[in-house]
């Protein structure tokens, strides 16, 4: 099968590409490297079934061509990370809304199955955990930049579901809950890579607020498995499905676990939200997925324990710091034949 992955050089996208290539599929990967990076996919260049295009989704001619060549479109390109969203709301809204619109429009012309990545952020301030897919979305005011992410992703969902209802385009929408693992960068504010980096450096672990807010962290391998199972069943078409692990931890508890598992003596530092993000910033207190629907549709639920997830991130970051190629994370050595790899790069930059 041929899969087009938008955002394929991103954190989840690169793990997905890796998995598909390992099992023998062909991957067309489109990424403008805004938050993704070549480092995430360099180890995949050894596959002659991998073709990457460093282009934005606004390149509609290229997008149309790649959709044409694909059997399934996995749309993961998006502006992510609360820090990025708070700092660049225009980019967030435009990337998320226009990008999804372009992908759906191109896919509809050829009637190709589209997987659209959404986020648990859409549940907003709903306090009724665990979150079921049909729960109300409780967003804050438009004057608070954070909510632009949830609103833009909710619009993506409406758009995808409308393409299904009105035009019969097969779509699957999944809401990812705090997906973490090797290769995730702390640059956009994500908490686990931040804490691990701080612990390894001996720097204070920066807990925002009082640390009593909670999250559920899902190993990226489980997230990829959930995604692949969903696109493998007709029962998921036209559905919105949570993909997450329901093991809940407070952020203060996470900081303690990271300290313990790294053996770090870093102190924990509490930073008020308005200093960490912006004045008046609103956080979600708890965020727990119901995975009943995922399990009912696919027979699968993410189960990797948090301790194991943390250990994988610690090993990855430690090896990266030591300058070694982090082979332990499915990162096979890059082929030394640069010329041969270049043939498969059909980038138009």
Catalytic residue set = 149
Q: Are 340 and 330 in contact (CB under 8 A)?
A: no
Site for ligand UDP in 85-124 (CB under 6 A): 121
Pick between residue 4 and residue 85 the one whose CB is nearest to ligand UDP: 85
Region of 12-20, 30-38, 161-169, 185-193 interacting with ligand UDP (CB under 6 A)? 185-193
Residue with tokens 């027979």, as numbered in its chain = 299
Pick between residue 130 and residue 189 the one whose CB is nearest to ligand UDP: 189
Q: How far apart are CA 28 and CA 67, in angstroms?
A: 9
Site for ligand UDP in 247-276 (CB under 6 A): 251
Least Cβ distance, residue 153 to ligand UDP (angstroms): 11
Helices 147-167, 89-110: axis angle to 10 degrees equals 10
Q: Are 345 and 51 in contact (CB under 8 A)?
A: yes
The one among 30, 67, 73, 82 contacting ligand UDP by CB under 6 A: 82
Q: Are 242 and 120 in contact (CB under 8 A)?
A: yes
Q: How far apart are CA 52 and CA 312, in angstroms?
A: 27
Least Cβ distance, residue 348 to ligand UDP (angstroms): 33
**Number of chain positions touching ligand UDP (CB under 6 A):** 14
Least Cβ distance, residue 270 to ligand UDP (angstroms): 9
**Buried b / exposed e across 52-76, counting CB within 10 Å, b at 16+?**
bbbbbbebeebbbebbeebebbbbb
CB contact set of 315 (below 8 Å; sequence gap of 6+): 182, 326, 328, 329
178 is an interface residue for ligand UDP by CB under 6 A: yes
What SS3 class is residue 167? helix
Least Cβ distance, residue 222 to ligand UDP (angstroms): 17
Pick between residue 18 and residue 121 the one whose CB is nearest to ligand UDP: 121
Pick between residue 45 and residue 287 the one whose CB is nearest to ligand UDP: 287
Q: Are 105 and 159 in contact (CB under 8 A)?
A: no
Pick between residue 2 and residue 276 the one whose CB is nearest to ligand UDP: 276
133 is an interface residue for ligand UDP by CB under 6 A: no
Q: What angle do CA 185, 188, 190 make, to 5 degrees?
A: 70
Site for ligand UDP in 189-228 (CB under 6 A): 189-191, 194, 206-208, 213, 215
Integer CA distances (angstroms), 250 to 46, 62, 215, in order: 41, 44, 6
Least Cβ distance, residue 288 to ligand UDP (angstroms): 12
Pick between residue 214 and residue 298 the one whose CB is nearest to ligand UDP: 214
The one among 239, 283, 319, 330 contacting ligand UDP by CB under 6 A: 283
Least Cβ distance, residue 345 to ligand UDP (angstroms): 32
Give the binding site for ligand UDP (CB under 6 A): 82, 121, 178, 189-191, 194, 206-208, 213, 215, 251, 283
């Amino acid at each position: 099968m041929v899969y087009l992955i938008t955002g394929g050089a991103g954190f989840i996208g690169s793990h997905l590409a890796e998995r598909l290539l390992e099992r023998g599929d062909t991957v067309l990967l489109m990424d403008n490297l805004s938050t993704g990076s070549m480092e995430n996919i360099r180890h995949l260049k050894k596959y002659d079934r991998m073709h990457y295009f460093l282009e934005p989704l606004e390149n509609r001619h290229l997008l149309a061509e790649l959709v044409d060549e694909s059997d399934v479109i996995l749309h993961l390109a998006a502006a992510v990370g609360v820090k990025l969203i708070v700092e660049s709301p225009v980019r967030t809204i435009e990337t998320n809304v226009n990008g999804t619109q372009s992908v759906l429009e191109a896919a509809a012309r050829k009637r190709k199955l589209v997987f659209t990545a959404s986020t648990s952020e859409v549940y907003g301030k709903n306090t009724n955990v665990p979150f079921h897919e049909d729960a109300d979305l409780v967003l804050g005011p438009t004057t608070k930049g954070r909510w632009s992410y949830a609103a833009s992703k909710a619009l993506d969902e409406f758009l995808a579901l409308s393409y299904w209802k009105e035009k019969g385009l097969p779509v699957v929408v999944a809401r990812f809950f705090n997906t973490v693992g090797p290769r995730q960068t702390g640059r956009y504010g994500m908490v686990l890579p931040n804490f691990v980096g701080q612990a390894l450096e001996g720097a204070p672990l920066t807990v925002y607020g009082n640390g009593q807010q909670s999250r559920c962290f899902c190993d990226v391998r489980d997230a990829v498995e959930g995604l692949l199972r969903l696109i493998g069943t007709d029962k998921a078409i036209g559905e919105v499905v949570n993909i997450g692990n329901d093991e809940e931890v407070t952020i203060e508890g996470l900081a303690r676990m990271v300290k313990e598992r790294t053996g770090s003596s870093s102190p924990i530092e509490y930073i008020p939200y308005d200093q960490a993000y912006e004045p008046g910033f609103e956080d979600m207190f708890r965020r727990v997925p119901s995975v009943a629907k995922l399990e009912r549709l696919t027979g699968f639920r993410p189960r990797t324990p948090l301790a194991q997830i943390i250990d994988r991130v610690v090993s990855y970051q430690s090896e990266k710091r030591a300058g070694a190629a982090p082979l332990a994370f499915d990162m096979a050595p890059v082929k030394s034949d640069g010329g041969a790899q270049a043939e498969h790069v059909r980038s138009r930059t």
